[in-house]
Amino acid sequence: FQETFQGKEKDAGSRCVISMNSRSTSIYDPKNPGHVKTFTFDLAYWSHSGFLKDKDGVLVSTGSNSRYAGQREVFHDLGQGVLDSAWQGYNATLIAYGQTGSGKSYSMIGYGANRGIIPVVCEELFRPIQNQKNKQYQVFSFQDPSIYVIDLLSETKKPGGLKVREDQHQGFYVDGLKRVPCDSYAQIERLMDQGTKIRTTASTSMNATSSRSHMVITMQFKQIFLDEDITKQSIINLVDLAGSERQKSSGSEGDRLREGTRVNLSLTTLGNVISALAEVAVGKKVLHIPYRDSVLTKLLQSALGGNSRTIMIAAISPADICYEETLSTLRYAERYSFVFFHVLSQWFCSFVCTQIPAEISSLHLEELRCLLAENDLRIRTIQLTWEYRLEEARKEWEQQYAAITQERWMMETFPYLLNINEDPQLSGVLKHFIQDGTVVFVSYASINIFSFSILDKHATFTNTDGKVTITPWEKCKVVVNGVPITLKTKLQHLDRIILGSNSAFLYIGFPAERTNEDLIRYDYDFFQSELAAADGFSVDKLGAVNNKDGKPDRSVLAVFHDYIKLMPLVAEASQMSEELKKELKLELKVKNLASSDSRGYDLQKEIVVKVTNKTTNQVWVWSKAKFVNRKFLMEELYQHFLDGEDVYVSQKSDPFWDPVEVIHLGSAHIWLQSLAYCMKLEEQTEVLNSEGMEEAILLIDIVPCSSDGRAFGEDDMITDPLELLGRRTDFQIHILQCLGIKWLREVSKRGIQLGYRVYDLPHTLYTKPVWENMNAKIEETVHFSALSVSHEFLNYLQQNALIVDLWGLQGISLQYFFLTGIGTANRVSELYLKLLKLEEETELLRDINRALREENELKSPNKQAIKKTHQPLSLKKTDQMCNHRTSYDAEFAKALKVFYQNMHTVKEQFLRLKNSNPPEEDNLEMLQLFTEQQAHKLKDFGDQLDSSICKLKNDVALIVKKKREHSISNSCARATSLLDH
């Protein structure tokens, strides 16, 4: 089943990577379109395109050529099978699996007129009951938080919660779970609404941004045939699993810690159970099926491999940006398709009907009458019990209906807060009314809210004189419309409020203030985007518009969505660090925000988390996957803290601790084009960090030289780089100094080291570490040789830059590490020089061989005579002409050198213009000043460019003029000589 592109997928300009027919689904790799994988299932439903909305709001197919499958088709093929199984006395289970936003909940619940499988199954179950005679039907649904919310992080309940236990006869069950009798679909629907509210409250308590939940709806359906004295009983499980996108492990991201054993345990164990059952189905011997490893698989044991007819819906996204998740889901579902189920019908007769005739005939008539009377009494008791329980349930329905009526009246009378959850199914479920007077938010009190950084008294809401204000308590975090507040603030209709790190609410004002505006746009991502914009982070800052076609850059938009997704997680991790006294500060950063490769192309951006120890000033940079992994482990430790347990762990097991590491501070680009003309480079260039800001100044010389290290002068310059082809070329890189290093300005005890790689060297070369010196002197020289210059090497010199990376060191152990690295680099360098020497000797042998061949050819008398005849005649004139040509070439090379030096300055000006960012404050004067400064810089850039080109033209014109004058002079001299003769 496929959903149409969602908000993030639309923003990213996603392409469809899925194709389907009636039974197979194919997916192609967006990075390699020729790589296609096909999976075969019982049914494959297409709902990405080819539909329209009818007058009732139902999505229907556009015509006979459309492949679109709507909710009706899905119910006919899947939901009807669940109903038929239930009527026949079989257990039936329907499981929806897939990543968040792929269509799981739409398939199971639906929205508006497009109702999903669950409501239609429940409604159709009761439809035939009304017209049946001589039969009694009993439907029980279950009501309790523990059946609706199975926490993926710890799968443990808070004190007082219900426990999963095991019974010899009924298997695993939830102890104390309330069975509620129902005689209509409306009652089950009301139970589902209650379960959603319970699920939302529990999700808030467990932090929805870091923990999702499964929804399990279980109904017991019992049919009592009064005439035949037969009972049929079946259990219907309708399961909406949590999003599968967090199932993948981040252990491969270089993290020293693995995910906790209970992280996302439900889905992981479910996959393990399915794999084991699939192996059993193909005849393999499996010793153990891990049903007991999670709460979910315990409760669904009979559905997965026991007495149940089970259907799995695998919901996938067709977007290319979801390729990895979609492929994982298809593989997961394919494994499940190999599992075979053994289903038994559950039906029971009275004791008398189940005895064989011989046993019945052996009983005395009086005993038989007693048994019949007992059986009749048992049936009447069942009927009375059912009617009593149903009456009790009706009373509860009436009370709940009164509560719902009261809530509707309050919604039309008072302003209120509407919860906004990361899971769209849980948004808008909870309403907190602000009646006349004052409301104080208290943990587990007035609104039963708990989250990171929510204190017992967090904020005061006041409703007086027709206006509502919010006042944060001391040091409590309150954000309104993306901006943190500290003073009393008046609320307007549709204001966005965030309490603590991630508890988001939409303020609905007084009835007179309300409009017909659609509230769907105010989702969780809207809140986080607004928060990011207030912090100065936006899509525009990332450079999302592609200059070629004006369309958004999909990769950049994906980075933006990652950023807003991680914002609340980072806030929670920082808060946990503070409460556990770990002294860590966590910040979201964009890696390669303004960085480019050796050819000047932008590097791929990605989100990282910068971690700083506020006591030691040590810094780490965690990848997104590593941070998410650590966040799970932090939550586990934090839960022990909340439960009052000992939270001491060793450093090796502490998710807040890491060994000191090297930090990439920035890079400098030294363009090598001058080397193609054998001109010396003397650079004083900026080392720019990931955001394009200056981190240090690098002094570096790159000098063309001879094989013995003698530096070339101006006379050695060439005008055409093609002259280097096939020749040996040598140059030396001399790194002099690194000035004004911010890394050392912040903490003087740190160190730095420079690393660079030339052309195709297999390893990066590192300089020696320098410690506690903000203006570090390097003074290192490395000699490089290319024995035979190729076109590829020439292109490298003309189009690439040497990238010098600045690395920050912290801690003595790192010095040893980098010294070891330098030793390795030096050994590689020695091997490289030996290889060059060997190639040089080989080339010398070739020259000797070539000379001998020419000598043998010259032994011919005719060739020797020709050589002796022609050589003396032109020798003097040739020398004179060569001297003049060399003079002109030298002057032209000097002109080119000056031009390239000027162009280098122009290029630096252009890069400064490119990396200049407008002020983050919404200040018109600051913006005007920034515009004026940019205009002056642009004018200077244009003037310098015009001046450089004009000077080159003048120099070339002067050289051409001299050459012409010399040519005329030579012509006159030759003419005079002829006249004299």
List binding-site positions: 98-105
Query: Left (φ > 0), alpha (ψ -120 to 50) or beta: where does 84 sit?
Result: alpha
SS3 445: coil
Tell me 1's DSSP state. Answer: -
SS3 722: helix
HSE (CB half, 13 Å, CA atoms) of 846? 7
Question: Could you tell me if 735 and 703 are in contact, meaning their C-beta atoms sit under 8 angstroms apart?
Answer: no
> Which residues 6+ apart lie within 8 Å of 810 measured at CB?
617, 618, 619, 660, 663, 747, 750, 751
HSE (CB half, 13 Å, CA atoms) of 145? 20
For every residue of 51-74, DSSP letters joined together read: EEE-TTS-EEESSTT--B--HHHH
Q: Which two tokens stand for residue 627?
A: 């941070």
- 10 Å Cβ neighbour count for 810? 22
Q: Quick one: which of 766, 606, 624, 603 has its CA closest to 253?
A: 624
Handedness of CA 963, 969, 970, 972 (dihedral sign): positive
SS3 663: strand
**Residues β-bridged to residue 164:** 174
Alpha helices per DSSP H over 457-553: 524-534
- Report d(CA 589, CA 602) in Å as an integer: 17
Question: Could you tell me if 281 and 340 are in contact, meaning their C-beta atoms sit under 8 angstroms apart?
Answer: yes
**Residues β-bridged to residue 105:** none
SS3 340: coil
Question: Could you tell me if 327 and 27 are in contact, meaning their C-beta atoms sit under 8 angstroms apart?
Answer: yes
For every residue of 843-863, DSSP letters joined together read: HHHHHHHHHHHHHHHTTSHHH
At position 816, the amino acid (one-letter code) is: Y
Q: Quick one: which of 310, 189, 331 has its CA closest to 239?
A: 310
**Residues β-bridged to residue 688:** 667, 694
- 10 Å Cβ neighbour count for 472? 20
- Report d(CA 151, CA 913) in Å as an integer: 51
Binding-site residue set for ATP: 98-105
- Report d(CA 498, CA 766) in Å as an integer: 48
SS3 164: strand
- Report d(CA 478, CA 500) in Å as an integer: 6
Tell me 315's DSSP state. Answer: E
